Chains A and B, each alone.
Chain A
Amino acid sequence: MSKIVSKEQFSANVVKLEVEAPLIARSRKAGHFVIVRLGEKGERIPLTIAGADIEKGTITLVIQAVGESSQKICALNVGDEITDLVGPLGQATHVEKVGTVVCAGGGVGVAPLMPIVEAFHKAGNRVIVVLAARTKELVILEEQMRAHSDEVIVMTDDGSQGTQGLVTDGIESVIKREKVDLCVTIGPAIMMKFVAALTKKYEIPTVSSLNTIMVDGTGMCGACRVSVGGKTKFVCVDGPEFDAHQVDFDEMIMRLGAYRDLEKK
């Protein structure tokens, strides 16, 4: 059991939870995720670790209420417990000094981007963050991002904050004005697909963190498999980060819909 020590409501559907997990806090790195399960009838779902405090022995999870399980987790309060929490899982982000890095996140994908932004900045890179949201109420972590990057560009679909436009518009504006050495993107699969198409055009190496269906998260089942460069990979052990230009996003989007009908019931 892992106790929730603090809760912050980021927006109507997005909450930030700080959870007791001393062992995970100590061993996690940017890019790692955990699997959580709530209650004896609960399912196992993957959540990226958005941060950790080794001294307090806690990790930070940012969750968007999209389905039954994430709604239940978002409804938890300080003092409540998560039944099962296991990690850190996956391969950590490969961080080195490459020059200028554009980190682009959309929706709740902004949260897992946070530790990556921090790590690239600490490694001496020029880091430009592009945050995208439908509307200004859904923009999260802007201040924290500013503290750990050289520039933050906010894009909203309706123009209610920052610049009106999509995440790709924000990235392209940077590419057009300066040399970009690496792009890191996390968000809905469809967004990452378009980011990958854009950066491919400009031949900018791009890494995306994939958010597929998972069960065990330890390489045991293959529910999370994706095609990367024509080869089948397991996101939970080989990823979650892959060369975005090699990922078959259409197949991934198709597989994400596997349980859509069952989830609606």
Chain B
Amino acid sequence: MTTAELIAARRAEPWREALRKSKKNKERTDIPRVKMNELDAAYRSRVRKEEVNLGLTAEQALVEAQRCLDCVNPTCMEGCPVNINIPSFIKHIEVGEFLDAARVLKETSALPAVCGRVCPQEKQCESLCIHTKMKKEAVAIGYLERFAADYERESGNISVPEIEQPNGIKIAVVGSGPAGLSFAGDMAKQGYTVTVFEALHQIGGVLKYGIPEFRLPNAIVDVEIEGLRQMGVQFISNCIIGKTISYEDLHEEGFKGIFVASGAGLPNFMNIPGENLVGVMSSNEYLTRVNLMDAADPESDTPVLQGKRVAVIGGGNTAMDSVRTARRLGAERAMIVYRRSEEEMPARLEEVKHAKEEGIEFLTLHNPIEYLGDASGRVQQMRLQKMELGEADASGRRRPVPVEGAVETIEVDEVIVSVGVSPNPLIPSAFQGLEVTKWGTVVVNQETMQSAIPDVYAGGDIVRGGATVILAMGDGRKAAAAMHAHLKKA
């Protein structure tokens, strides 16, 4: 059955028809969009590990699910990189069948509790919801996804998707981030023997070392990974493909297909004077210390500098995660320094709003040009160049240009540089014959995710540069479908 046929067949089921008839569309669209319950801002900016968003109650979810019109042609699904059958899971929620809703999510997504939390739904599924065409607020698809996944987890009745008869074909995955996990789930479902190789000591990639506990608890990621284990996926940590074992070794071991999902883990620096002072570090370092190594816990052997005046350079989600972390670690002044205006910030609106509520200062149209240190080499001040917006550049965003002579000096004792990441060259350099762009991303066929080496596919940030969790997961699904088709033919 094609996806379109499946959508139509499910929509035609009698209970769905009856449900649609039970309420007029007008009644459904008149219901106001649910508000997410949140921890109080003053409280949460002083606790490290409690989630800010508290999730929907069952009552809220039941009402929100009614807002969905169960469209003939659900455009929302086109906005979902992994093609979740959105009306289908929402209608199960509307009738109170929460576990069935979770089962629908798992047909296409290996990590629904993760996606429901970190996807930028306002740019994806929700941006194409029929409500937005009627100038109404979109159905809260992300909140409902999270609700169903959380409900299932807390119920203790976690379902394992159906798995095809094992076909004995071994598949290797390089990297255990969202792209690799999504690929592994899809391949396991189709009967492949999947082994995921991870360089770090923990599985999950950016979900573990990058995104903080107050946005995505590690325990929730672990439950979703456990689900993949139950589907037969094997995980090998502390193993670097290209270092510990080579591409040739994988061949010798009989792996028939390799999916490279090693991400974009190489932090960019600005190369300005003073950037190597003590107290200046990348977001990757800061967040890895705090999230993966739990450095703020006194029991942890890993240290982390805890600044009183912390500047985070950049305007993306990673910058928001870093500045909000610094606040939680006791910063009296926690600042975002961004060279454009707030309008151009790539961070999710929700993250910016949460940051502001937590007392984060926003120094927009400012760009650091130098850091100054004390006698011990610890950063003490930053010199900021004021900027203004000029002509639009190739990306359509107005280019920031310096305001001549407008430089100010601000006291800081910690600076976190969050100006993007590049693909880590470690893994591409280990695959002879892999085609790589000048930015270090792996070249693939956009339809199949197949690289210049026929049995090597790639997806996620190693192909896109720094992007989102859900786009990485979409790549994983696409690569799995294409690799399966390719291996079936062979």
- Could you tell me the distance between the alpha carbons of A69 and B300 in the complex, rounded to whole angstroms? 11
Which residues of B are in contact with A by a Cβ distance under 8 Å?
A: 199-201, 209, 237-240, 243-246, 265-267, 269, 271, 275-279, 281-282, 284-285, 288-289, 293-294, 297, 299-303, 305, 376-377, 424-426
Given known A27-B244, A27-B246, A44-B293, contact A254–B199 (CB-CB < 8 A): no
Contact present for B278 and A37 (CB under 8 Å): no
CB of A37 to closest CB in B, whole Å? 6
Contact with B266, one of A27, A44, A219, A232 (Cβ below 8 angstroms) = A219
Contact present for B244 and A219 (CB under 8 Å): no
Interface residue tally for chain A (C-beta within 8 Å): 39
Q: What are the residues of chain B within 8 A of A85 when measuring CB–CB?
A: 238
- Could you tell me the distance between the alpha carbons of A39 and B300 in the complex, rounded to whole angstroms? 10
- Could you tell me the distance between the alpha carbons of A44 and B293 in the complex, rounded to whole angstroms? 9
Q: What are the residues of chain B within 8 A of A87 when measuring CB–CB?
A: 240, 243-244
Contact present for A216 and B238 (CB under 8 Å): no
Known: A44-B302, A221-B284, A227-B276. 8 other contacts (CB 8 A): A215-B302, A218-B200, A232-B276, A237-B426, A251-B377, A254-B278, A254-B376, A259-B305
Given known A43-B293, A237-B425, A257-B278, contact A218–B301 (CB-CB < 8 A): no
Given known A41-B294, A232-B271, A237-B425, contact A259–B265 (CB-CB < 8 A): no
Q: What are the residues of chain B within 8 A of A84 when measuring CB–CB?
A: 201, 237-238
* CB-contacts of A203-232 with B (<8 A): 215-216, 218-223, 225-227, 232
Given known A88-B243, A215-B285, contact A220–B424 (CB-CB < 8 A): yes
Q: B295 — nearest CB in chain A belongs to which residue? A: A43
Chain B interface mostly: loop
Asked if A174 is an interface residue, CB under 8 A from chain B, the answer is no
Contact with B199, one of A43, A69, A83, A86 (Cβ below 8 angstroms) = A86
Contact present for A221 and B282 (CB under 8 Å): yes
Residue contacts A-B, CB under 8 angstroms, 10 given: A87-B243, A215-B293, A215-B302, A216-B288, A218-B199, A218-B240, A218-B265, A219-B425, A220-B265, A258-B305
- Could you tell me the distance between the alpha carbons of A221 and B287 in the complex, rounded to whole angstroms? 9
Contact present for B301 and A42 (CB under 8 Å): yes
* CB-contacts of A7-50 with B (<8 A): 23-24, 27, 37, 39, 41-44
Asked if A55 is an interface residue, CB under 8 A from chain B, the answer is no
- Chain A 64-91 interface mask (CB, 8 Å, partner B; 1/0): 0000110000000000000111111100
Q: What are the residues of chain B within 8 A of A251 when measuring CB–CB?
A: 276, 377
Given known A218-B199, A222-B284, contact A23–B244 (CB-CB < 8 A): yes
Contact with A219, one of B246, B278, B301, B424 (Cβ below 8 angstroms) = B424
Q: What are the residues of chain A within 8 A of B277 when measuring CB–CB?
A: 254
Q: What are the residues of chain B within 8 A of A24 when measuring CB–CB?
A: 244
- Could you tell me the distance between the alpha carbons of A89 and B424 in the complex, rounded to whole angstroms? 14
Contact present for B244 and A255 (CB under 8 Å): no
Contact present for A43 and B425 (CB under 8 Å): no
Q: What are the residues of chain B within 8 A of A225 when measuring CB–CB?
A: 269, 276
Contact with B377, one of A86, A215, A255, A262 (Cβ below 8 angstroms) = A255
Asked if A263 is an interface residue, CB under 8 A from chain B, the answer is yes
- Could you tell me the distance between the alpha carbons of A251 and B240 in the complex, rounded to whole angstroms? 30
CB of A48 to closest CB in B, whole Å? 15
- Could you tell me the distance between the alpha carbons of A222 and B302 in the complex, rounded to whole angstroms? 16
Contact present for A257 and B281 (CB under 8 Å): no
- Could you tell me the distance between the alpha carbons of A263 and B285 in the complex, rounded to whole angstroms? 18
Q: B199 — nearest CB in chain A belongs to which residue? A: A218
- Could you tell me the distance between the alpha carbons of A178 and B289 in the complex, rounded to whole angstroms? 49
Contact present for A221 and B267 (CB under 8 Å): yes
CB of B343 to closest CB in A, whole Å? 30
Contact present for B276 and A216 (CB under 8 Å): no
Contact present for A89 and B281 (CB under 8 Å): no
CB of B211 to closest CB in A, whole Å? 15
Contact present for A223 and B281 (CB under 8 Å): yes
CB of A137 to closest CB in B, whole Å? 29
Q: B285 — nearest CB in chain A belongs to which residue? A: A221
Q: B202 — nearest CB in chain A belongs to which residue? A: A84
